[in-house]
Chains A and B, each alone.
Chain A
Amino acid sequence: MPDITSVVDTLDERKPYIELKQAKSSGELACDNTSIAGSMSQRACVYSGARVALNPVTDAVHLVHGPIGCASYTWDIRGSLSSDKETFRTSFSTDMKELDVVFGGEKKLSKSIDEIVELYKPPVIFVYSTCIVGIIGDDLEAICKEANERVGIPIIPVQSEGFKGTKSDGYKAACNALMQIIGTKEPEITSEYRINIFGDYNVAGDVWLVKPLFEKMGIQVITSMTGDATVDTISKSHGAQLNLVQCSGSMTYLAKWMQKEYGIPYTKVSYFGIEDLAIALRTTAEFFGSEEMMRITEDIIEKETERIMPEIQAIRKRVQGKTAAIYMGGAAKALTLIKGFRELGMEVVIIGTQTGKREDYKQISYQVKDGTVIVDDANPLELADLLVNQKADLMVAGVKERFLAYKLGVSFCDFNHDRVIEFEGYDGFLNFAREIDISINSPVWKYVGSKLGDSNSGSLEIKNTNMSAEQNTAESRKVVGERSNMRDIDIITLQGSVA
């Protein structure tokens, strides 16, 4: 195992989770374990996994059985969009108090369910259990079953006690909940070719840039889980002949179950990046084996690629050769991002995930160049070290990592809940490229780390004294020490982007 101490300083216990890829490295990374106490993991809990995977079901009531915090922090946090009902953006909680903890929260939960059914008339209620429920022993299954019979709509328990495992266990809990709905209604069949989109959460409307492509190919998309899904479409999803799984970490479990239960095969795809998107469309067309469909597919790929390519090329010129750090929740997104960056002429120097499995890291290791650092369940200090030592120009991650990158003068792209623009599909990739361009080439980075009195702190001085600006940059680096990754934006780019 190559030594990682040259690029990162961390706890001994954390070292097996970090690898510097070299020609002979095995790609065997320690992973899929609970986080080390006090390591400042970026991960959340079982409940959070269940919540992010299930919450986008738009017309369901998502009821959190627990103290108020768990509901407060997860109220409308994912940028998933709905084409119809907005019930999922409302936060429901049993708001357990001390007395409920002492005497049990079962009664309150039952009454809460009755109340919600009367006031909101939802098609289904998902009841999430939190840490405390697992300790005081409220029988969620029994209460939900009883309520189900009483109120006449599915009341589905989501067994997501925060401490009982990792975020991945939460995904499973969400899938288990979905299984209760699938197959409960007969689908209306409008095409001889039918699929489900799995593992797409319709963040910023992603699904809406993908679904039309399949429809153009003559395919009926029965449901997209769980982004923009309704209880109705989920209940009919067994009518599909193929499940396309994007976020494999969260939804492969469900896809496997559908294969076993309904004989529906699944395949892993990605709708991000020109190459992966084309593969997704072609694989689907090949699965159905219709020549007409294959022709349409090729036509879509050709026309759409041609349409976005001029701008992609222009952006490529502006970002080529820059380096990227990827830190994602799941491995599927991390993997597809490697290709996406390659399409923009950028190189990945750090790649990590919160929930990657052994097999995922092997694939990642296969995809990245020597000298890339691969990391599982990283923490802020490791990421900061890596960003500096691996000389990353840009980081792609979520909110917790954003301000860390900014403080180090590293540009940032949010590929997580907070995103407000679509990154999937052809227009989505164009959006992504534009965002990368903006992030890297903004003039603001020039000022990070500058001080009053530095002659390189503004564009005014640069025009006059080119040489001394460089000298000064070198000088200020020496002073601050750790700022070795501060970028030099060449003057032409800077002036260009200002103008």
Chain B
Amino acid sequence: MSERNYTTVNPCIMCQPIGSVMAFKGIEDSMVLLHGSQGCSTYMRLHLAHHFREPVDIASSSLSEKGAVYGGSENLKKALKNIISRYDPKVIGVSTTCLAETIGDDISRIISEFRQEENIGDERIIIPVPTPSYEESHNSGYIKAVEAIVKTFTLEDSNKEIFNNKLNVVLSENISPEDTREMKHIFTGIVGHNSFILLPDISETFDAPMTGDLHKIPLGGTTHSDIADMKNSAATIGLGITNDNRAVNYLEHTFEIPAQNLPLPIGLEYTDMVLNALSEVSGMEIPDEFQKERGRLIDAMVDAHKYVYGTKVAIYGDPNNVLGMLSLALENGMHPTLVVASSKSPRFAEHAIERVDQVKPDCDVTILEDVDFDTFNDAVRKVKPQMLIGNSNGKYIAKDMNIPLIRFGFPIHDRVGAQRILTLGYKGAMRMLDSITNTILEVQDTEIAAKWSEPESYVPLGESNFHSAEA
């Protein structure tokens, strides 16, 4: 379609509250309550259940017309009360929606009134996060919720307590449960078990083992004591560099914890960067195990290089994930023709260009952000990539162009295993590369078969001369 200025067609982003939900789902014993109309929570539950294939409970204050006119305080208090009585969560995240924000409800005030009225003890933590749906995107919702969580848990006494010599690792963008497990594997391997605090941690909460038991609140998540202990840490690493990681900044400014922000470790070089930083920060040597993993990845890259070289690829999704995948594609000699971030972020384009210049400066690449799928699809038609890498919503254009789509990111609602997609670390890079290579080989197989199945295409040497001589 041609130029559009007023209509968004097939959105690449979701609204802020769902980002907040994802962050809270990585906290131990927590429940999220959306202050708004009943539909918001139900839609987000559907969206998350489709992707993670787990039960997802998100409460709602079920605002009705009366609440919208006279204020939603009564509904919000009742919802809090009912959730405590039914789920008994230690942490309740209260996120706003467009409705609650527009009617002007002050959720912090309502929550403190509720605490007083119901005599809620200090052991129950209620965290307000304003996330109006008409501002920014799910990515900013995630960052805001993580910041609010850290602030609330460390606010009690803003002085440092006992230095714990731990490393904080704070995500600024959602990663899969499998990726979260891989991160923990890497951190444990390098800085040691119990020597880091990863926030948020959805490795169990969004990918629970089947035991025959249903837990009201899924087990797992970053523990409360760990979050409270973040202010006593030796250093902080923020994962994700395209957006400001507000929790990291807060920890740095309030508690003077030295901080650095690093890219998501996708592909060889970004993983190297993160591992080197870990080693440097902790003073620990990188165990041989990771040298081996790295060696295997390079082995895989050599095995694959002939097949993937020059393959034109379009990569789309959330900014930090896309940046990492761009890096992986470049390192393997692929040609990223189109790189698209779902939401606007201060440093996505800058880093993407930098990465292209570092690895393949002659590469002609289109970089877009904050566009809808209609614009993306137009760009795909224009640059004609041979492959797409991104979430399920690229399936329409992939089908249209008859090119393969390798799924990663969020949402993936039309395939199983989204929660187990591994892209981070050397292992993740290997997994992605194998998947990319095998997809290319599959296409080649089909093309070769089609070519030689046509009767005219095979003419034995000499025979054509013979025939023509006869004619």
By a beta-carbon cutoff of 8 Å, the part of chain A in contact with chain B is 10-11, 34-48, 63, 66-75, 77, 90-98, 100-101, 108, 111-112, 115-116, 119-120, 130-132, 134-136, 162-166, 380-381, 384, 399-400, 402-404, 406-409, 418, 448-450, 480, 482-483, 486
Contacts and interface: CB of A to CB of B under 8 A. Distances in A.
Contact of A73 (B1, B7, B10, B43): B43
B430 to A, nearest CB: 28
A151 to B, nearest CB: 14
Contacts, number: 236
Interface in B199-224: 208, 210-214, 216
Given A37-B75, A73-B44, A91-B10, A44 B39 contact: yes
A93 B7 contact: yes
Contact of A136 (B40, B46, B63, B102): B102
Contact of A92 (B5, B9, B213): B9
B4 interface: yes
Contacts of B98: 66-67, 69, 96, 101, 130-132
B53 A75 contact: no
Contacts of A134: 68
Nearest to A132: B98
7 contacts: A11-B82, A36-B62, A39-B62, A46-B39, A73-B14, A163-B36, A449-B211
A326 B105 CA distance: 38
A400 B11 contact: no
Contacts of A400: 42, 45-46, 49, 55-56
B304 interface: no
Contacts of B44: 73
Given A44-B43, A406-B210, A37 B79 contact: yes
B254 interface: no
B11 A115 contact: no
Interface stretch (B130-138, B228-236, B281-289, B381-389): B130-138
B212 A409 contact: yes
Contact of A408 (B15, B45, B61, B214): B214
B11 A67 contact: no
A402 B102 contact: no
A155 to B, nearest CB: 13
B415 interface: no
A74 B43 contact: yes
B78 interface: yes
A41 B7 contact: no
A111 B18 CA distance: 29
Interface in B109-154: 132-135, 137
Contact of A40 (B10, B57, B63, B214): B57
B39 A35 contact: no
Q: Which 8 A-B pairs have the closest CB atoms?
A: A449-B212, A45-B39, A69-B15, A38-B79, A38-B82, A73-B43, A37-B79, A162-B37
Contact of B103 (A92, A111, A135): A135
B82 A36 contact: yes
B13 A131 contact: no
Given A399-B49, A403-B54, A448-B210, A163 B9 contact: no
Contacts of B6: 94, 108, 111-112, 115
A407 B214 contact: yes
B33 A95 contact: no
B359 to A, nearest CB: 33
B59 interface: yes
Contacts of B15: 67-69, 72
B7 A44 contact: no
Given A90-B10, A406-B210, A162 B1 contact: no
A37 B8 CA distance: 32
Nearest to B69: A135
A162 B212 contact: no
Given A38-B62, A119-B2, A483-B213, 14 more contacts: A40-B83, A44-B38, A48-B39, A48-B42, A67-B134, A71-B8, A73-B46, A91-B9, A108-B6, A116-B7, A120-B1, A403-B55, A407-B210, A482-B214
Contacts of B212: 407-409, 448-450, 480, 483, 486
B428 interface: no
Interface string B1-39: 110111111110111011000000000000001001111
A39 B75 CA distance: 11
B103 to A, nearest CB: 6
B456 interface: no
Contact of B7 (A70, A92, A98): A92
B377 to A, nearest CB: 10
Given A38-B78, A45-B42, A483-B212, A163 B11 contact: no
Contacts of B68: 131, 134-135, 163
Contact of A132 (B39, B64, B102, B210): B102
Listed residue (B6, B33, B57, B214) with the most chain A CB atoms within 10 angstroms of its CB: B214
Interface residues of B, number: 74
Interface string B63-105: 1110110000001101111110111000000000111001100
Contact of A68 (B46, B58, B133, B214): B133
Given A47-B39, A77-B46, A448-B212, A163 B63 contact: yes
A45 B42 CA distance: 8
Contacts of B172: none
A449 B62 CA distance: 35
Contacts of B39: 44-48, 70, 162
A36 B62 CA distance: 7
A403 B49 contact: yes
A48 B40 CA distance: 10
B78 A37 contact: yes
B321 interface: no
B102 A135 contact: yes
A409 B39 CA distance: 28
A242 B31 CA distance: 50
A38 B59 contact: yes
A119 B4 contact: yes
B64 A34 contact: yes
Nearest to A482: B213
B50 interface: yes
Contact of B42 (A44, A66, A119): A44
A69 B40 contact: yes
Nearest to A100: B134
B60 interface: yes
A134 B79 CA distance: 23
Given A95-B8, A136-B102, A11 B211 contact: no
A48 B82 contact: no
Given A115-B6, A381-B86, A486-B212, A48 B49 contact: no
Contacts of B47: 72-73
Interface in B404-459: none
Listed residue (B39, B50, B393) with the most chain A CB atoms within 10 angstroms of its CB: B39
B8 A92 contact: yes
A135 B40 CA distance: 16
Contacts of B137: 68
A132 B78 contact: no
B50 A399 contact: yes
Contacts of B87: 381
Nearest to B7: A112
B102 A93 contact: no
Contacts of B132: 67, 98
Contacts of B76: 37
A51 to B, nearest CB: 9
B25 to A, nearest CB: 14
B43 A69 contact: yes
Contacts of B102: 101, 131-132, 135-136
A380 B58 CA distance: 10
A105 to B, nearest CB: 10
A120 B7 CA distance: 12
A127 to B, nearest CB: 11
Contacts of A409: 212
Contacts of A10: 86
Contact of A71 (B11, B65, B214): B11
